[in-house]
Structure formats: structure tokens, C-alpha cells
Amino acid sequence: MKDFLTHLREKTAEFGNHYNKHIQAVSKHLDHLIQRLEQKKRRDAVHILHPAYDFESDLQTISNVCINDKEKLNFIGTYFALQLLLMNRQAIDRLRMDVVEADTNRLPVYKEFMVNAGNNFRMLTAYYIKELLNIFIKKEKYPEFVILGVGTKSDQDDIDVGIIDDGKHNRKKFNRTISLVSQEMLKFATSFHFHLSEHIGSHYYSASIDEYELVLRHEIRDFVIINEMLSAAIIIGSEKIFQQYEKEIIDRYFYHPDGDNKYHEGYLRGILGEVSSLLARPISTTHINFKEDALRVIKSIISARKTIFNIKKVNAWDIIDELKNKDTKMYHEYNALEKSLSFFEIFRYVYQLFVAQDEEVILEDASLKNIRRVARALGYSDIGKCRAEEHLLVHYYEHIQNIRNIIPFLLHDIKVHLESISIFVPMFDSGYKGNIAQDFLRKFKFFRGTSFWDDILDDFKDENILKRFINDLNSFKPDTRRKLIKGYMEWGKYDIYSLIKFLTILGKSKTGLTIYTDLNNRLLKIIDVIPNIERNIAYVFYRYPHLINTYLSLNEEKNLLFYLKIIDRKVYEEEIVGVISNLKNLIGIHLLSSRFFKRFFLRILDKYPGSIKLLRDPDQLEEFADGIYSDIGLMRTFKEKKEKLGDYYDLEMVRVGIKTLKRVSVEETNAEFTEFSDKYILTLFEICRQEIDAQNKKRIITDDVLAIFASGGHAREQAYDDDYDIIVLLNSDDPKMISYCNKIISRMNREIIKRGTIPHHRFADYFGRFVISLKEIEELLSEKRDDIFIEKSQMLGARLVVGSHRFEKEFLGKIVKPYIFDKKQEYIKQMVNEIDSRHNTVEEKSLVADNDIKEGIGGLRDVEMMMLIIKARFSITEPVNLKLFKDVASKQKDLRDDLNKLAKAFCFLKNLRDVYRLTAGATDVIIPEALSNAAEIMDYHSSKKLYNKFIKVKNEVRIIMANLIAKLKYV
């Protein structure tokens, strides 16, 4: 038969290496302990080789048989170590059995397991400490004291304790005794931590109630202290002291319906700040962290709510049970929270038992093997291709999502509670007599160290309150005002979220702009020295991308560059590296973007803040846009459908814009722009048509009767035009049909304008309506006017967007062929004359700026007119784009060289125009000073170089044009 020690080693072999300490103690002292017990004939009085049920009696018996204190310490330490091993072994055996019984409904088993494990551990620890104190205290007079467990109440890497004494007799010696107890705990059991006493009073290990009072009376200080106090439960010691402590110190943090709630408010502001910052923390993909990912946030929110509902229990499950009864409206939320709590607690417990007493687990091969052992113990098994540990980890992330879904509701509810009890509330009453700006800071002093101010900040969204605040602040002399601004910086510098929220409220309000600037400048002066600022900004950006985006939009270029520098610091966590990279990308877009482009991306990020994460990856952005497009069909009303479609347009605009900024080719940019823009017009037409049909309660078929043609830039498949030239043609003279189609187009116009693009209806001026019949066009083009070539050019350049190809064929046959192709000589002559006359006007009258990329000599207008001449000359119906240049060049040898050169120049001019629109502004006049971003993007690295190139290309275009005109003039 195996000896006990071998058996014990085998039975505990699956435990983590940290249990070696206990095994070693048992190996070293057990034989002596048994010998001593046998010698004193007390062997049968102690349950030593089996899990015991009366630790107190066993420990006393052991103490009594020892011959000196050293032996006592070794033997009771050995007993503790042995019982801990046996207790854990037994608990795991039971768990394995219970999860099999429970099948898939394992969460109640987990809860029961954790409650029992906690109780047993606390009992063992309490009696062990009691016996240690008996050894060290002896008969000396010590203060009356109580040792409180203030942290998690199960076996962990440390035991958080708070020791309260009565402040009398020999406190120094008493503290030395606790030090000795602590050192024994480190050797045989679990080390103590004394956060409470470390921060209260003059002694390290214990503090008196008076000392607590002294420290906590005037300010909230450290909400972790309060959290610990609220979870305090007696391990050992005076019940009287504890009751006094509860009454005089702890009770103030609970809600008192008719009393002073300042302390309660302070605690909530502290703990909610903690919860918010934990929720803002990105979840790592490389490791898991039980405490940071989940347990701390669950326990904090439970603790906050327990103070509201006056629940004195300290065990998280007990608190939840009582909350379910007292706060029935949140019953389901508590239920879900309880399940996640049980899951995380047992996962951590068994992991720490089997592997290591760490909160953080790196997800790599070796640890996955260990997680597998944990998963098996928790009842997980391999299912098909999914391994037990993977299954467990999937549940881990699902539970995180669960709590991240639930907690905002509970948080909001507490915010509402705060709004009803806050000492700040009277300040926001219109009849308030004091000075808000000054009084806020005065009152804040008590709350220093807390960081939840959402309720107050939301009050500032009320323009009247904000105005009052600004007036109050501005009522002071400059010196005092400056001091107050400094005070606000003190308030906000350790809570970047609140500060940025405050800044954006100020910055977005016209009246708040000056204070915004003062406060923001102050922040920029000190931001560099705020600890972990890059991480804090990353957290805020992760949780509130929209807020950061709005804040960035309020900052000028030099500030944005400064922020880029601030966040460019080495961080270790991969997930934060990713967030910072996204933020850098966003700042980059802000830096590069013109107001024209910003309008689109601010609008879209406002509505879909989640899409900020996708800005780095246009492909993902496209998938997101496709998702929005698919959603259109699900919208109930036409208004919603149109809004969704608008979102799709904005998002696609942003996506293609980002691609341009990332230097994709003009061809790609234009092709993608045209694709989504046409899709937008086509879908918008469908929605508006259906809307009119729904109003008329009848469906009118327009398939071969109505067609929408794009002309101008959109027809040439050119991106980023801020107007949309449209020709709406009808192959019918029926007034009803004309009226019907007019209504559709009118609705479309309303929507197109919302996108920041102005629809221009080329023939509306002639006919007084948007829709024109083919017959009317024929009549118009038959007019003998010198400038008729303008209308002809519109027709020649038009591109079908909505309508049937049968209609298009009819349009070509009835309009383009007879009026342009069959009269090409006349048309080309008029066009050549127009080019000459434009050039003369530009040169002589200086009506057009030389640096106008569109209308200037050698600009885009020239190239486009040239291409229309070519279209007419060779009877080409395809739109004017780069393909057209290539096609004609391949067929017309004598034009080839010039056309290739012109294509190259066209490409450059279009690219410059696109990039300039996105980075400088939606204008055609190229200002050299505004070219810096464009120069970087287009690889010129100097505004001057790019500008010179622009001028050179324009001159080249002029020469090429002259060559081509000479060859094409006479058909």
C-alpha cells in the first residue's frame, strides 16, 4: 500500500506548481506532527489525513501537544497546508461528478461550488489565524480588534484584509504581532494584503475607527478603500468593533432616502468611473484576464447597486439574490449577471488551482493545454472539431459580451439615481443664486479621485445651463478666470473621457468656443505628463469613437499633429496597439481632409461610430456599406429607406475617398465612385417612384418611357463632383406621365441635395420642369442658334443611369445621330471656335484664374471638349473616360501619340483635382499653399514641385490640343 505522502502527491499532481509550497510543508513536518500527537495520545482527536470538519478543535489540539512556539507554528501551518490540499481535492472530485449530473445546465453547479469553496476556505483560514494569534498574543494587553476579509472570499494568491482596532493599548506591539502572523501566512498559507490600513492611520497593519473618520470625513479619496469596506466580513475578532465600524464608517456610503447622501454619491462616482473605464478596455486577443475582463466590473456594479438598495450582504451571489427581490425591474439583468459571475469565478478558481495563481492567461500552446485541463474539470468535452478548451474560451468571450450588454442598463439606472440625489443638482436650477463655474469646483473638492460625471455633463448639453456656466465663468477677472480654468483641468485631467466630453460640449456650442479654446490649450500644455495618457485616450476612443472623432474635428492641424505625437508611445498590449493604430489613422484622415470630405465622414461616423474601426481597411468598409444597402429593403417607411440609402452613399463616398488618399489610381477611384453613385441614383429613383405610387395607389410602368441620364462630370465617370448634372427624358407627351415623372424627380432632388451634391437639370430652364420629352429635345436642337452646340454637347456626353437600353437606343437614334453625328462638321467647328474663344477670354479678360484646373487653359474643360470633338468625329457613343482615349488611339494612328499624351495629362489633372478636393477643398482653383497634403499623397513631397508640374501639364495640354485640333478641324 502506498504511504500517505505518495498518495497525497498523486492526488494533488494536477494542481499547479504553487501547491508545492504546501506539499513541502507537509513532507517536512507531517511525520513529526503525527509522532507528537501519538506521543501525547491525541492522534485520534485530530482529523489529519482526511478532510476535517472541525478545524478549530483540531488546531487547538495540535497547539496543545507542541513543546514550543516554533513547533506550534510549524505544526499548525502543516495542518493548514494539508487541509487546504485535501479540501481542494475533495471539491474538485465533487465538481467533476456534479457537472456530469448537470449535463449542460452547469452554471447553478458552478455557483454552488464557489459558495461552498469560499465558506470552507474562510473557515480554515479564520481558525488558523486565530491559532496564530493565540501563539503570538499570549497574555499581553492588546487593543480590541477585528480582522476583516475585504476581498474575494476563496483561495487566491492573497487575502485582502482590513484590521480595525480600538486605538488603545500597545498598538505598536499589536502591529508587530500582525506582521508575524502575516509572515507565517506567507510561508504556510496565503499572504495577507493590507490595503485599508496602508492608507488609513499611522500603523501599517491596523487602523482605528477614529483614524478612518479623520481620513474619510472630508473627501472620497480612494474608492477602492470604500469598496473593500463595503465587502468587509469578519474573519476573526470583536463583533462590537465591527458593528461600530459599520455604523460609524461604512453606513455613510449607503443611500439614505431622507438623509445626507454626499458620501453615497461620492462612492458611486468613484465606482462608476471604474466600471466605465473597464468597459472601455478593449478585449485582448492574445490573453484573457478574469479580473479585468469581467469580475471587477461585475462586482463593482453589484456593489454600487447594493448601496442604493441598502443591502448589507457581502457575498456577490447573496447580494444578487437580494437585488432580484428588491429591484424587480432589473430581475433579468441580475439573473444574466449571476450566470456570468458564476462562470468567471469558477473558471478563475479552477485555473488558479490547476495552473498558476495569475489573473492573466496568455493564450499560447502551453497555456491552452492547461486550459484544456480546466475545461475538462468544468464539464466541457470535445465536440466534433471543437475542442473542450476552445468551447470554454468561446463561452468566456460570450460571457464578456453578455456583461458588456447588460451593465450599461444598470449603469444608466444609477445615473438616473445620481441625478435625483446629487449635491450638484440644485446648481442647475434656473433660480440658483450662486456662481455655477466656481461652485462646481468647490463642491468637486470632496469628490477628488472620482471619475463619473456623465449625469452632470449631460446637464451641460442644455444650452441655457451651458450659457449660464459660461457667463458665470466669464464674470470673473482674468486672473480668477485663469485659476478656475486650471481648476477644471485638475478636475478632468485624470478622467480624460469626462474632460473630452466637456470640451466637445463647449466646442460645439457657439457661446462656449472661447472657453473651449482656453481649456483645450491648457490640456495640451499638460497632457504630455499625464500618466498613461496614450492608453487612456485609446480606451476612450475604443468605447466612444464618436466622441473622439467630434473632438478631433474641433482641433486645428497643429493640435492634431501634437496628438499624433502623444499617442505614438510604446505600449505593450496588442489590442491597444490596434486601437492606437486606428486612432492614428483617424487623425491622419482629419489632417488630410478638406471640409468637403470631412462633411461626409463626420456625418457617417456620427451615425455609425463602429465604422471608425474600419477606416483602415476600405474592403471591410465596403462590406459594411453593402450591409447598410441591404438594410434598405428592411426599412418600414420610405423616409427610413431614403435615409438608409443616403447613409450608403456617404459611406461609399468615405470609402472611395480614403482609397484616393491611399493613392489608388484615378481609373479605380472613378470606376468605384461611378458604380456606387449610379447605384444610389437608380435605387433612389426606385424608392421615390414607389413612394409616389403608394400615394397614388397605383403603379405606373415607366420602363421604356423614362430615362435619367447623367451629364457633366458624373457622365464622364468623374469622382467627387459637388454637383450632379441630370437630364431626365421622357418618351411620351402624356401630361399625366410628365406630371408623375416630375414628382419622382422632385423627390429625388430633395435627397440628392442632402448628400451635399446639387442636382442641375440642364433643360429645366427652357421648359420649366425637370422632365422633358424626346420631342421637345428634338425641337430644341433644331433651333438655329450659335450656342446650340452647348445643348448638343450635353446630349453627346450624356450617360444612361436609369432606364432601358431600348430607350437609350431610341435616344441615340432620334437625338445623337441626326443632330450631332450627322452634322459633325458643324458641331466640331462650333466646338473649336468655342475653345478658341474661351482661351481668348481667359487670356485677355483674366476672367478665369490661370490656376483653375477646370476652366483654365489646358485644364480639364479643354480635354473634355477635345474628347467630345473626338466622339463626334468618330461617332462614338461610349462615355468620356480613359478607355475612350485608349480605344481611339489604338484605331487612329495619326492621333495616337497626341492622344496618349493627352490621356496621361488628363490622368494627372483628374488625380490632382480628386486629391485636392479631398485634402484642400471642393474648389477648382489650385492654391499652391494648400497643396502640401496633396503633394505628399501624390509623391511630390513639395507643394512647389506639384504646382510646377500642374502648370507644366496645362501647357502641354494646350500644345496637344492645338495639334489635335489641326488634325480634326476639317472632317
- Per rule CB under 8 A, is residue 360 in the interface with other proteins? yes
| SS3 at position 542 | helix
| Interface positions, 447-476, toward other proteins (CB under 8 A) | 449
- Per rule CB under 8 A, is residue 204 in the interface with other proteins? yes
- Per rule CB under 8 A, is residue 553 in the interface with other proteins? no
Q: What distances in angstroms separate CA 639 from CA 127, 549, 634, 748, one per listed residue?
A: 71, 27, 12, 12
Considering only 3, 329, 510, 572, the residue that binds other proteins (CB under 8 A) is 572
Region binding other proteins by CB under 8 A among candidate stretches 197-205, 331-339, 644-652, 701-709: 197-205
391 burial (CB, 10 Å; 0-12 / 13-18 / 19+) is middle
Q: Judged by CB, which is closer to other proteins: 38, or 574?
A: 574
- Per rule CB under 8 A, is residue 170 in the interface with other proteins? no
CA atoms of 879 and 888, how far apart (whole Å) = 13
Region binding other proteins by CB under 8 A among candidate stretches 17-25, 34-42, 817-825, 898-906: 17-25
**Positive or negative: CA dihedral 932, 935, 940, 941:** positive
- Per rule CB under 8 A, is residue 32 in the interface with other proteins? no
Region binding other proteins by CB under 8 A among candidate stretches 334-342, 365-373, 607-615, 790-798: 365-373
- Per rule CB under 8 A, is residue 74 in the interface with other proteins? no
Q: Judged by CB, which is closer to other proteins: 570, or 698?
A: 570
- Per rule CB under 8 A, is residue 520 in the interface with other proteins? no
Considering only 222, 345, 622, 898, the residue that binds other proteins (CB under 8 A) is 222
- Per rule CB under 8 A, is residue 526 in the interface with other proteins? no
Residue type, 379: G
* Residue 253 C-beta-side C-alpha neighbours within 13 Å: 33
Region binding other proteins by CB under 8 A among candidate stretches 326-334, 366-374, 461-469, 555-563: 366-374
Say which residues have a Cβ less than 8 Å from residue 797's Cβ, sequence separation at least 6. 711, 712, 715, 716, 864, 868, 871, 879, 880
Q: Judged by CB, which is closer to other proteins: 133, or 915?
A: 133
- Per rule CB under 8 A, is residue 193 in the interface with other proteins? yes
- Minimum gap (Å) between residue 373 Cβ and other proteins: 9
Say which residues have a Cβ less than 8 Å from residue 187's Cβ, sequence separation at least 6. 21, 25, 77
Q: What distances in angstroms separate CA 202 from CA 72, 174, 210, 701, 907, one per listed residue?
A: 31, 13, 12, 89, 77
- Per rule CB under 8 A, is residue 16 in the interface with other proteins? yes
- Per rule CB under 8 A, is residue 223 in the interface with other proteins? yes
DSSP H or E run through 761: strand 758-761
Q: Judged by CB, which is closer to other proteins: 228, or 852?
A: 228
Q: Judged by CB, which is closer to other proteins: 16, or 609?
A: 16
Q: Judged by CB, which is closer to other proteins: 348, or 873?
A: 348
Considering only 535, 743, 854, 917, the residue that binds other proteins (CB under 8 A) is 535
Q: Judged by CB, which is closer to other proteins: 297, or 774?
A: 297
Using CB under 8 A, count the residues that bind other proteins: 49
- b or e along 632-641 (b: 16 or more beta carbons within 10 Å of the residue's beta carbon)? beeeeebeeb
Q: What distances in angstroms separate CA 757 from CA 400, 600, 603, 652, 946, one per listed residue?
A: 44, 11, 14, 14, 28
> φ and ψ at 80, to 5 degrees?
-60, -50
Region binding other proteins by CB under 8 A among candidate stretches 139-147, 348-356, 503-511, 939-947: 348-356
CA atoms of 723 and 725, how far apart (whole Å) = 6
Region binding other proteins by CB under 8 A among candidate stretches 183-191, 430-438, 685-693, 893-901: 183-191
Name the DSSP letter for residue 386: B
Q: Judged by CB, which is closer to other proteins: 191, or 405?
A: 191
- Per rule CB under 8 A, is residue 197 in the interface with other proteins? no
Q: Judged by CB, which is closer to other proteins: 292, or 686?
A: 292
Binding mask 260-289 for other proteins (x = CB under 8 A): --------------x--x---------x--
Considering only 195, 326, 404, 769, the residue that binds other proteins (CB under 8 A) is 195
Region binding other proteins by CB under 8 A among candidate stretches 85-93, 174-182, 394-402, 506-514: 174-182
Say which residues have a Cβ less than 8 Å from residue 30's Cβ, sequence separation at least 6. 4, 5, 48, 78, 82
| SS3 at position 863 | helix
Summarize the chain as % helix, strand, coil (round to 5). 70, 5, 25
Considering only 31, 69, 101, 198, the residue that binds other proteins (CB under 8 A) is 198
CA atoms of 795 and 480, how far apart (whole Å) = 69
Q: What distances in angstroms separate CA 303 from CA 275, 313, 318, 325, 932, one per listed residue?
A: 11, 10, 11, 16, 55
Considering only 5, 100, 362, 383, the residue that binds other proteins (CB under 8 A) is 362
**Positive or negative: CA dihedral 442, 448, 453, 457:** positive
Q: Judged by CB, which is closer to other proteins: 30, or 65?
A: 30
- Per rule CB under 8 A, is residue 792 in the interface with other proteins? no
Considering only 183, 402, 585, 620, the residue that binds other proteins (CB under 8 A) is 183
Q: Judged by CB, which is closer to other proteins: 177, or 594?
A: 177
Q: What distances in angstroms separate CA 903 from CA 7, 314, 953, 958, one per listed residue?
A: 87, 77, 11, 13
Q: Judged by CB, which is closer to other proteins: 363, or 927?
A: 363
- Per rule CB under 8 A, is residue 921 in the interface with other proteins? no
Considering only 6, 35, 39, 191, the residue that binds other proteins (CB under 8 A) is 191
- Per rule CB under 8 A, is residue 129 in the interface with other proteins? no
CA atoms of 454 and 844, how far apart (whole Å) = 63
- Per rule CB under 8 A, is residue 300 in the interface with other proteins? no
CA atoms of 645 and 683, how far apart (whole Å) = 8
- Minimum gap (Å) between residue 123 Cβ and other proteins: 25
- Per rule CB under 8 A, is residue 446 in the interface with other proteins? no
- Minimum gap (Å) between residue 24 Cβ and other proteins: 7
CB–CB of 424/440 below 8 Å? yes
Q: Judged by CB, which is closer to other proteins: 275, or 632?
A: 275
- Per rule CB under 8 A, is residue 194 in the interface with other proteins? yes
Considering only 5, 49, 186, 386, the residue that binds other proteins (CB under 8 A) is 186
Beta strand 758-761 with 723-730: parallel, antiparallel or unpaired? parallel
- Minimum gap (Å) between residue 174 Cβ and other proteins: 11
Considering only 356, 635, 788, 876, the residue that binds other proteins (CB under 8 A) is 356
Closest CA to 212 of 178, 263, 255: 263
| SS3 at position 159 | strand
- Per rule CB under 8 A, is residue 24 in the interface with other proteins? yes
Q: What angle do CA 556, 558, 563 make, to 5 degrees?
A: 95
- Per rule CB under 8 A, is residue 202 in the interface with other proteins? no
- Per rule CB under 8 A, is residue 176 in the interface with other proteins? yes
Residue type, 155: D
CB–CB of 487/441 below 8 Å? yes
- Per rule CB under 8 A, is residue 808 in the interface with other proteins? no
- Per rule CB under 8 A, is residue 88 in the interface with other proteins? no
CB–CB of 576/538 below 8 Å? yes
Binding region for other proteins (CB under 8 A): 16-18, 20-21, 24, 157, 172, 175-176, 179-180, 182-183, 186-187, 191, 193-195, 198-199, 204, 222-225, 274, 277, 287, 354-358, 360, 362, 366-367, 369-370, 449, 531-532, 535-536, 570, 572-573
